[in-house]
Chain A
Amino acid sequence: MTDLVSTIIAKYNYWIYITLMMIGLYAMIAKNNLIKKIVGMSMFQTAIILFYVSIGVKKGATIPILEYSHGHGHDTQLVVHAADYVNPLPHVLMLTAIVVGVATLGVALALSIRIYDRYNTLEEDEILTQIREEK
């Protein structure tokens, strides 16, 4: 029992990310409103970002900015220990992912505005009924 609890505690970030992802995925599939789906999509993306950021975390490490080299004289004697700084690579990747997220968001919203212009509703079932009636 303690084992289970410790597993849960040791990786709770992962569990939360999985929960968020499931919520996002469910919203994308099951929600009827187009904008709600887009919200779900954004949550899905942020969940993955959370996962990546969690990979980078390191116990006892600080943010990945070398503090004592402020200014322009690069001191060659300076020794940097990798263990002192969190892993910067996932952060870099996730910056890109966030950008992709906002780009997708913009396009999706533009599409939903187009759809609203045409069908005057954002509910998927109502749109499909309209399409069927037109046939």
Chain B
Amino acid sequence: MKIIGLIISVLTGAMLVYAAADFPAWSDPSSPASTYLSPHFIEKTMEETSVPNIVTAVLADYRSFDTMFETAVIFSAGLVCFFLLRTTRRKESETETTHYRHTLTGVTIQIKEGHTLPPSDEFERIDSLWTPSGLIIKTSCRLLVPFIQLFGLYVIAHGHYSPGGGFQGGVILGASIIMLAISYDLRTIIERISEKMVAVLCAVGVLIFSGTGALCLLLGVNFLDYNALAPILLVDPLTARSHAILIVEIGVGVAVMTTMIWLYCNLSSAGKYNQGL
């Protein structure tokens, strides 16, 4: 297998090297890629969409159809992970053992299934494999998370003017929650954001995007032609484009954030949702 792999990759590489000889020189301003389509985008974006970040404009307007499916790809990844991993029923052989720690002494005890711990404030439930107890980590994460989330919101909202947008912002928001899940434990997160909410929000995010497009369609123009939204948003058509881009970016953000959480929950608990990383 190693030899076959070597041969195939060398062959591919050789062909690519051979073809690269015909490429325009690197960073050549007069290459076809830089002279054919991109000038239009660079020069007309402001006029046509009033969004200074060309990447955002192209992403969410000129090629918004791509981006819509990109969001759908992310959604389907979350859904596939859920579909593959999530187990609601346990195998017969497995009995669940829950672990508790006595907060004062640090003694850990196991409780077999069927038994219960007498109600007491002195015990906290912990994971069997991983017992995060670092006070420093917990506290600093707790302090950091609001700022990270604020930054994430900024990235989404400010995507028109600076690098970033729904996708990056969504990942940051998702990462903040994942960070919380790592520093505390998975249960804490699931108590705050239920699985159902994550799953529904994920679909809602994509729905916001495609729904915006479908709304244009209902208003009598082509799919995703944001101009038609002007009467609804109460602005002129050009600004409507800019606003609509914000709307879809929010949709992307919601979808991506929740998918990241969903993926993490499923992967780190192998679909059992009892204990995570």
Contact = CB atoms under 8 A, between A and B. Distances in A.
A28 B163 CA distance: 33
B85 A29 contact: no
Interface stretch (B71-79, B120-128, B195-203): B71-79
A103 B74 contact: yes
A59 interface: yes
Contacts of B271: 113
A58 B41 CA distance: 15
B107 interface: no
Contacts of A83: 29
B70 A99 contact: yes
B52 A70 contact: yes
A111 to B, nearest CB: 7
B33 A11 contact: no
B16 interface: yes
Contacts, number: 175
Q: Sort chain B's interface into a size bin.
A: 35 or more
Contact of B42 (A67, A82, A95, A111): A82
Contact of A29 (B5, B31, B43): B5
Interface string A51-62: 000111111110
Q: Say what secondary structure dominates the interface of chain A.
A: helix
B26 A58 contact: no
Contact of B58 (A72, A92, A117): A92
A22 interface: yes
B108 to A, nearest CB: 26
Given A65-B53, A110-B267, A113-B85, 5 more contacts: A58-B28, A59-B27, A95-B67, A107-B84, A110-B81
Interface of B: 1-2, 4-6, 8-10, 12-13, 16-17, 20-21, 23, 25-29, 31, 33-34, 37-39, 41-43, 45-47, 50, 52-55, 58-59, 63, 66-67, 70, 73-74, 76-78, 80-81, 84-85, 161-163, 167, 238, 263, 266-267, 270-271
9 contacts: A13-B26, A32-B1, A66-B52, A82-B42, A99-B70, A100-B70, A103-B74, A106-B267, A114-B84
Which 10 A-B residue pairings sit nearest by Cβ, starting from the closest? Answer: A30-B5, A29-B5, A103-B77, A82-B39, A87-B38, A66-B52, A88-B54, A26-B9, A64-B54, A22-B13
